[in-house]
Amino acid sequence: MKDWRRTHYSGEITPEMEGSEVVVAGWIHEVRDLGGVAFVVLRDREGKAQITIPKKKVPEELAEKMTSLVRESVVMVRGNIQKDERAPGNFELIPNDMKILSESKTPLPMDVSGKVNAELDTRLNSRYMDLRKPEINAIFKIRSVALTEVRNYLESQGYIEITTPKMVATATEGGTDLFPISYFEKEAFLNQSPQLFKQIMMASGLDKVYEIGPIFRAEEHDTNRHLNESISIDIESAFSDHNDVMKLLEEMIHHVTKNVEERCQSELRALEHNLIVPETPFERIKYEEAIDIAGDHGVEVVWGDDIPTAGEKAVGEEIGTYYYIVDWPSEIKPFYALPEPENQELSRAFDLMHPRFELSSGAQRVHKIKLLEKRMLNQDLDPEDFEFYLNAFRYGMPPHAGWGVGAERLLMALTGKKNIREVTLFPRDRNRLTP
């Protein structure tokens, strides 16, 4: 009995291995029968391997079986390596045997050869097939490296990974955008942010925590940068202020970008994306300056209003790289953002902007319970609903600060993709709940 086990990915085979027998496994990308010779291109995770079938040398039955293969079927091929400068990877395989593992149906739901462009909706409906394209699976290889580097960086800075509940009884970021669920006889919701839990952790003595986990937002809007289920990278740091965590954030963005640039060269090439590693520190622009720049571009923003997308775009175009917006009016930032002690109208909240979108927001937090309760009441929130949170502030709560970064938006920045659905395996949006 022959051992049918993959010995090599296509990318591991080199012309110097000429003469040796290998077993490759993957999908049938292309079959070309030229009469005296036929070519079958097999595609796997690492690239493509050309299988060349000289009809005179290969047993007739095998040649017949290989040339009648249906595209996208899954096979294993045992063959001998031969140098060939015209083939991908500069080698070809002369087959000795083949095993069909799974035959594909026809017609295919979409083309994966890159010759015909499918609509995003069609692609997302057949995501398993869309992902067979190298320029699509490159996105998710980059995602894996990026999240590993986020962890590496935060761990190197003394952060401890935590996971907090996603089924909760109260809103975090304001009450309207919640998905209700039934929790036995009680009303419950999917959590919008780990905000309250990560702040509670600041009273635990662990000091520096991070979480990479899902957040759920029942926002109705349908844009190219919002999802209803998203992955958030959150940190919280005790004995720190807003400046400390802004420095951490820009250093993390630098670290992750640099490592993706170094470790994902073939993926970035597949995406045709020229990734620029940003220099630190990032420019800090005051809210007041940002609304002035927006005004110069015809987007009028009244002091105290949020900056609309058109305003963000105008400022982003002017700056051209990452930048912070600081000194936000206190009234438009959440109750947990600390007002500037010397000027309560302004807060110690910040947004980190990519030229095309908001990447993160954060703040130094209110850690004194009296002020926290006062700010809740000012924002029409009932402190009684937040007792589990407020208790953590009653028995020794250090000053603290933190931020949240949308993982998909970080991936948009790293890959140059313009639509958040492109960088999400199975996006959840206003119209999409399957697959």
Which residues contact ligand AMO (rule: CB under 6 A)?
Answer: 173, 193, 195, 217, 219, 226-227, 230, 232, 234, 358-363, 402-406, 408-409
The Cα–Cα gap between 148 and 134 comes to 21
CB of 147 to ligand AMO, least distance (A): 15
The Cα–Cα gap between 359 and 149 comes to 17
Closest CA to 82 of 9, 14, 12, 6: 14
Q: Supply φ then ψ for residue 401, to 5 degrees.
A: -150, 160
Owner of token pair 């952060």: 159
Report residue 16 as tokens: 């110097």
CB of 98 to ligand AMO, least distance (A): 45
CB of 402 to ligand AMO, least distance (A): 5
Owner of token pair 């979480």: 211
Which CB, 193 or 347, lies closer to ligand AMO? 193
Q: Which residue is nearest to ligand AMO (CB)?
A: 406
CA count, 13 A, side-chain hemisphere, 435? 10
Which CB, 50 or 360, lies closer to ligand AMO? 360
Which CB, 28 or 363, lies closer to ligand AMO? 363
For the beta sheet containing 323-326, the strands, ordered from the edge strand earlier in sequence to the opposite edge, are 160-161, 208-216, 229-238, 400-406, 357-364, 349-354, 323-326, 283-286
Which CB, 95 or 406, lies closer to ligand AMO? 406
Residue 33 exposed, middle or buried by CB count within 10 Å (0-12, 13-18, 19+): middle
Which CB, 50 or 237, lies closer to ligand AMO? 237
Which CB, 227 or 264, lies closer to ligand AMO? 227
